Every structure is written in C-alpha cells, then in structure tokens.
C-alpha cells in the first residue's frame, strides 16, 4: 500500500486572502463555512448569510450526518457525503479549505476536515485562526451567497480513521490504541455536567488520557506551534509513535486531537465517532470513570 503524502493541514488567513484576491476560489479551491452553534445561542446559517469569506459555501453539518442514528453527529454514508459535497462544487481534485466562526478560532472546522479525510479526500485544510481572525485582520467579507456549479465527488471510506463502539470496547482488553479524550477537564473527571444533555452524565472511558481541545489553540485562536503541541503530547504521556483513538462527547472536538497530531506528522489518529454519548448509553458501567459525588 502506497502511503499518502501529507497534505498541509493548515492554511493562513494571509494565504486565503491572497487566493480570494487573485480569483482562485473556484472548482480547484473551495472554501466552506462549517460553523455550528448550540441551539438558542447563535444561528450559523443566518450569520453566514450576513457575512462570510468571499466564495465560501455553507457546510451544514446538521444536513451532512446520519440523521437516522440515535447518537449525535454520526457520519453520513459514503453516498450521502459524496452527494452533499458535490452539490457544494467539490470534486476529488478540489483543495478544500474549512473554517468556522467560533470565538475560540476553531471548533467544528477540524471535524469537517476529518470527514473529508475519512471519505478518502486528502486535499483539505483548516483555516488557521478561523473567521475570528479573518475579521480581526480586516480581510474582505460578503453577504453574497455562493452558488457553485455541482461537481462529481466519489467517496471511499477509510476505515483506519474511524472506530466503532465494538472496536473501542475490544481495545479496553487489547490496549492496541491509546485513547485520548478531548473534553474539558471537569467533564472528563465527572465534576462538571455535560451541557444541554438531559440524562447524560459526565465522566470518561476507563484508561483514557485527557487532552482538552482548547489547549491546542492560542488565546488568539491559532493552532499552537509544533514545538508546543509536541510538548503537550509528551506531558500527557501520549506516544505519537503508537496508535491513537480520539474521543469526546460526539466526535467533534476529538478531531482537534487528530489535527494536532497531523501537524506533527502523524496522520493516522482514528476518531471514535459515537464518543461519550454512545458509550454512556451502551458501555459497561464498570468502564465508566467519574469523580462525581453520589
């Protein structure tokens, strides 16, 4: 099997601004706004229609997921993903740049970055600094909706980047993979509640390391330097030379672990798509770890 060459996981706001200015956004370069916010907070599509990067299309993760699943944000089928991104003008030869408007600088963009990769598309990057810094630096915005010509996209699921409940359960015995939980320390420990989750208690899967996704970013919303990221993995005793499964609440912020590892030259971090939400409803109770008071 030929190893896929690493593609640049991050592009700068300056690089994208130059691409926009030079008219390069088109069939060979598609920009996607992948913003999503908790219900009752902000309206992602409304904000997109008010202002976005010129040439960007709105990637609605609520539409591009398995809506038949009882679990949160599960991957759609190959056919559904191919149809959805094809309607956004993405072909197999397109370089995709993803961003979101979260105040942290990046929240859902790494999830969409991973979705493209798990469906066999490697020419995908996250906008480093996100829309927050795009605005801060004074780059152009528009309210003009982007209506790209539909393209043909062929999806091929890369099973090595995706882990199921059964595989994570087996891993508790085999310990072939290191399990990394990207939620906040309090939710990982069980001392803080899971937000907007009636009946879902916090805690973590036995044996999981904790690397809160917010710590991968600077206060200004950019990805930390490779040196800082490497020191973080070392401090947590997570060995980048060994297999890793990343998990969180619903398979979203876990993708920040995969992105950080990719920046460090490790492209094979797998995501447990069901994450804690599925595990809480299916997993053996003896595998739950929580410091919550009775």
* Residues known to be catalytic: 248
Q: What is the pLDDT of residue 1?
A: 32
Q: Which of 283-288's residues contact partners 24+ apart within 8 Å by CB, and which partners? A: 283/165, 283/169, 283/205, 284/169, 286/206, 287/172, 287/205, 287/206, 288/203, 288/204, 288/205, 288/206
Cα(266)–Cα(160) distance, rounded to whole angstroms?
13
Fold held by 160-289: Oxidized Rhodanese; domain 1 (3.40.250)
* Domain covering 10-157 assigned CATH 3.30.2320.30 in the classification: no
Cα(169)–Cα(149) distance, rounded to whole angstroms?
44
Q: What is the pLDDT of residue 2?
A: 36
Q: What is the pLDDT of residue 196?
A: 79
pLDDT tens per residue across all 294 residues of the chain: 334 569 999 999 999 999 999 999 999 999 999 999 998 999 999 999 999 999 999 999 999 999 999 999 999 999 999 999 999 999 999 999 999 999 999 999 999 999 999 999 999 999 999 999 999 999 999 999 999 999 999 999 999 999 999 999 999 999 999 999 999 999 999 999 998 777 899 999 999 999 999 999 999 999 999 999 999 999 999 999 999 999 999 999 999 999 999 999 999 999 999 999 999 999 999 999 999 864
Residue 96's beta-bridge partner residues?
Answer: 30, 124
Q: What is the pLDDT of residue 290?
A: 96
* Domain range annotation of the chain: 10-157, 160-289
User: Do the first three CATH levels of 10-157 and 160-289 match, i.e. the same topology?
Assistant: yes
């Amino acid at each position: 099997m030929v190893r896929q060459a690493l593609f640049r996981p991050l592009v700068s706001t300056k690089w994208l601004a130059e691409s926009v200015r030079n008219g390069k956004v088109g069939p060979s370069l598609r920009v996607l706004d992948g913003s999503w916010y908790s219900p009752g907070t902000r309206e992602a599509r409304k904000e997109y229609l008010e202002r976005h990067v010129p040439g960007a299309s709105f990637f609605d993760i609520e539409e591009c997921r398995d809506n038949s699943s009882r679990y949160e944000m599960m991957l759609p089928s190959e056919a559904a993903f191919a149809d959805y991104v094809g309607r956004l003008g993405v072909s197999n030869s397109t370089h995709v740049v993803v961003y979101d408007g979260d105040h942290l600088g990046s929240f859902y963009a790494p999830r969409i970055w991973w979705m493209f990769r798990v469906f066999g598309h490697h020419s995908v990057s996250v906008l480093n600094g996100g829309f927050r810094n795009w605005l801060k630096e004074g780059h152009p915005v528009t309210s003009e909706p982007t209506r790209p010509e539909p393209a043909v996209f062929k999806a091929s699921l890369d099973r090595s980047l995706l882990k199921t409940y059964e595989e994570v359960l087996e891993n508790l015995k085999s310990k072939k993979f290191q399990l990394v939980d990207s939620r906040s320390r309090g939710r990982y420990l069980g001392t803080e509640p899971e937000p907007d989750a009636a009946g879902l208690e916090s805690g973590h899967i036995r044996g999981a390391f904790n690397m809160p996704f917010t710590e991968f970013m600077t206060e200004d919303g950019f990805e930390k330097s490779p040196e800082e990221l490497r020191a973080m993995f070392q401090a947590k005793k997570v060995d980048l030379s060994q297999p890793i499964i990343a998990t969180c609440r619903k398979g979203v912020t876990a993708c920040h672990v995969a992105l950080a590892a990719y920046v460090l030259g490790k492209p094979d971090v797998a995501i447990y798509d069901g994450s804690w939400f599925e595990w809480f409803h299916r997993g053996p109770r003896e595998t739950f770890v929580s410091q919550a008071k009775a």
